Chains A and B, each alone.
Chain A
């Protein structure tokens, strides 16, 4: 428990660690690793009597809880509800003879991530290496959509009612994040605009959407939209959920970005004007890059929460990961296996959210956020 107070988050701890490093470095050759460890323990866990007490009590509580959970997970829990339904949880009712397409889509995504990481980490080796990620980011989402949905000519169409499980969760989240970002930036710029109509419309959009719960937005897109649209124009159900998520997320992205826009000093804009840049150039070359850089942490937070919010589409009957979990729990063979199923679903959500969080931190470090 007390460990959490110590330097656990690298970003926050860096200045402090940097100060202490010379001391630690000189101590190492004399005292050895054991002495180092003892010193660390003494400094972080047992520095005072109450810290020592907290450490002991905390350790006892953690051990007690861990052993109980461990014992349950290994003995009482029956994980067949997860293992037997793993494919179902991952892709839902996606046709089993077309699963290779999902696998290929995962490969494409992994390749995209690898390419991006390589380009980010490696040195600048030529124009191709610099252009490749941008090109890949344009093509990969289309490729994934094409693989998963099909086109009716080369690949059979897999209707969205056959999408489910983690696949649907990820599709909803990815589309929500990628599409809501430009809309959010546009809304933020619109809200800062000097044109009164643009400003009023943007403000109204943001405030209306932010003023209602996501559940309401999803219900409107699922049920009310069909009442207002002309007959025959009946957008796909998953598409409607995506639209709801995009609208909702865009409003929050807009407010985050607005915060960034306001953090750009007026002097920057004046300097741009002095250099002869026009309005659009000032916005896209001077203001936005600085504004977006400043709001990366809050944007990552917003996207993580959007990822978790996709679980709300279960209440409009879409079977994403949690919806599939509920459906599996209705299988008479697995009645009552709630704990195992929700533990699994929670773990999956955590894995992805933690991954996003780590990726976000990498982006922050690359942008030198907080340092320059």
Chain B
């Protein structure tokens, strides 16, 4: 009596398994085919247009499962439709930040996100919505940041991420202009008399083990032909403790980290960060590969902050500058174009023409952002160095607004 029911159950199970497997394996084919047939709903403006495998476009929802599977790195669902449209429709920007990096992103007492990276998120939100607080914050760890970017969890990653060739190419991130040129530096005691790396001949130098910092240190000193004794410690805290206890003559790390550690030492003024930079750590916003409309927005928001500083336009004098340049005949044509009084640059990008005004009004120019978060008025007090305008010996150079 139990035989037939057993067979029925087995047959049903087999059918179920077959069905599940076949939808899995056949899935890329139909979605590709439908793309070829030209479902046409907004497929044009994605920068990566022309790549055939953009699933998620299939109108028949039944084929839509598991879209993450058959994709090459950097290809994401929703790519055929620009992130820009998605963000505008959502009404807020989802910005991936560190959330616990002194000076760059941290929570203020009132629960607002603050810091240098956070202000660039605000600048983008200001450009899009005229509201710098239209941001949803995502604190990300180093491990999950690129996964979060690729899966569309976040719109833009502004989390002290170094622009490297591997991340730009194989990881599938696209880097907007660098907002902070960090680099490996060296901190010594003021009374040691050390003023440059060559003075450190024979010195003991504290360094965190297993990092590129350790390798850079060895490379730099070998190139200089200077002998030194590395003292390698595994814990970042231990490195600075050892340095403070005098177990080593100098300590090396990224300059921004040196600055934040120096700020909490017993007597910060007893220590000095040398001018020399031993490695390149360009930190800037990153977006998904193959979405040039959105990439353009992020890129030109960064340029706008830099250009505003170059023009000397601040959140304080913006209205004055606008009034001074209101007349098409007497106003400075470069500034008029930059502020959107002339030309159609903002709308050409999908924003409003006054997007630079919005950024400056709500967030300020690059110099204001820097000073507010890292400048002399803050405990970090990181010198501008490379992060100065090209006209003042730095590397900040905005492409022309014309």
Which A residues form the contact surface with B (CB < 8 A)? 84-85, 87-88, 91-96, 159, 161-162, 164, 219, 222-223, 226-232, 234, 237, 315-319, 323-324, 326-333, 335-336
- A88's partner among B109, B138, B148, B260 (CB-CB below 8 A) is B109
Most chain B C-beta atoms within 10 Å of own C-beta, residue among A237, A323, A335: A335
Chain B residues whose CB sits within 8 angstroms of the CB of A315 once the complex forms: 141, 143
Nearest B residue to A197, CB-CB: B13
Nearest A residue to B94, CB-CB: A161
Nearest B residue to A224, CB-CB: B147
Nearest A residue to B135, CB-CB: A161
Chain B residues whose CB sits within 8 angstroms of the CB of A328 once the complex forms: 106-107
Asked whether any CB of chain A lies closer than 8 Å to the CB of B8, the reply is no
Q: Roughly how many angstroms separate A219 CA and B151 CA in the complex, as a whole number?
A: 14
Nearest B residue to A223, CB-CB: B147
* Contact of A317 with B99 in the complex, beta carbons under 8 Å: yes
* Contact of B105 with A330 in the complex, beta carbons under 8 Å: yes
> In whole Å, how far is A367's beta carbon from the nearest beta carbon of chain B?
41
* Contact of B64 with A231 in the complex, beta carbons under 8 Å: yes
Q: Roughly how many angstroms separate A323 CA and B78 CA in the complex, as a whole number?
A: 31
Q: Roughly how many angstroms separate A159 CA and B134 CA in the complex, as a whole number?
A: 13
* Contact of B378 with A332 in the complex, beta carbons under 8 Å: yes
If the complex has contacts A92-B111, A319-B139, A324-B107, are A331 and B144 also in contact, measured as CB distance less than 8 A? no
Chain B residues whose CB sits within 8 angstroms of the CB of A88 once the complex forms: 107-111
Chain A residues whose CB sits within 8 angstroms of the CB of B136 once the complex forms: 159, 161
> In whole Å, how far is B326's beta carbon from the nearest beta carbon of chain A?
39
* Contact of B66 with A230 in the complex, beta carbons under 8 Å: yes
From 290 to 309 in chain B, residues with beta carbon under 8 angstroms from any chain A beta carbon are none
> In whole Å, how far is B53's beta carbon from the nearest beta carbon of chain A?
13
If the complex has contacts A161-B136, A231-B67, A317-B139, are A332 and B111 also in contact, measured as CB distance less than 8 A? no
Chain A residues whose CB sits within 8 angstroms of the CB of B114 once the complex forms: 331
Chain B residues whose CB sits within 8 angstroms of the CB of A162 once the complex forms: 111
* Contact of A323 with B99 in the complex, beta carbons under 8 Å: yes
If the complex has contacts A330-B101, A335-B379, are A317 and B107 also in contact, measured as CB distance less than 8 A? no
Chain B residues whose CB sits within 8 angstroms of the CB of A92 once the complex forms: 107, 111
Asked whether any CB of chain A lies closer than 8 Å to the CB of B153, the reply is yes
Q: Roughly how many angstroms separate A341 CA and B8 CA in the complex, as a whole number?
A: 63
* Contact of A327 with B110 in the complex, beta carbons under 8 Å: no
- B68's partner among A226, A323, A330 (CB-CB below 8 A) is A226
* Contact of B141 with A85 in the complex, beta carbons under 8 Å: no
- A319's partner among B101, B104, B107 (CB-CB below 8 A) is B107
- A331's partner among B64, B67, B108, B139 (CB-CB below 8 A) is B108
Asked whether any CB of chain A lies closer than 8 Å to the CB of B102, the reply is yes
Q: Roughly how many angstroms separate A200 CA and B69 CA in the complex, as a whole number?
A: 28
* Contact of B106 with A331 in the complex, beta carbons under 8 Å: yes
Asked whether any CB of chain A lies closer than 8 Å to the CB of B380, the reply is yes
* Contact of B264 with A336 in the complex, beta carbons under 8 Å: yes
Chain B residues whose CB sits within 8 angstroms of the CB of A87 once the complex forms: 109-111
Nearest B residue to A93, CB-CB: B111
* Contact of B64 with A327 in the complex, beta carbons under 8 Å: no
Q: Roughly how many angstroms separate A326 CA and B99 CA in the complex, as a whole number?
A: 8
Q: Roughly how many angstroms separate A287 CA and B56 CA in the complex, as a whole number?
A: 49
Chain B residues whose CB sits within 8 angstroms of the CB of A96 once the complex forms: 110-111
Other 18 A-B pairs with CB < 8 A, given A230-B56, A230-B67: A88-B110, A93-B107, A93-B112, A93-B137, A223-B148, A226-B152, A226-B153, A227-B68, A229-B65, A230-B66, A231-B56, A231-B78, A234-B152, A319-B107, A327-B99, A331-B106, A332-B263, A336-B263
Q: Roughly how many angstroms separate A164 CA and B107 CA in the complex, as a whole number?
A: 11
> In whole Å, how far is A82's beta carbon from the nearest beta carbon of chain B?
11
Asked whether any CB of chain A lies closer than 8 Å to the CB of B209, the reply is no
* Contact of A327 with B100 in the complex, beta carbons under 8 Å: yes
Asked whether any CB of chain A lies closer than 8 Å to the CB of B239, the reply is no
Chain A residues whose CB sits within 8 angstroms of the CB of B152 once the complex forms: 226, 231, 234
- Across chains A and B, which 4 residue pairs bring their CB atoms closest together, nearest first? A336-B264, A227-B68, A93-B111, A330-B106
21 contacts between A and B (CB under 8 A): A87-B109, A88-B110, A223-B151, A226-B147, A227-B69, A228-B68, A229-B66, A230-B64, A230-B65, A231-B64, A231-B67, A234-B152, A237-B138, A316-B141, A317-B141, A319-B99, A327-B139, A329-B100, A331-B107, A331-B114, A332-B102
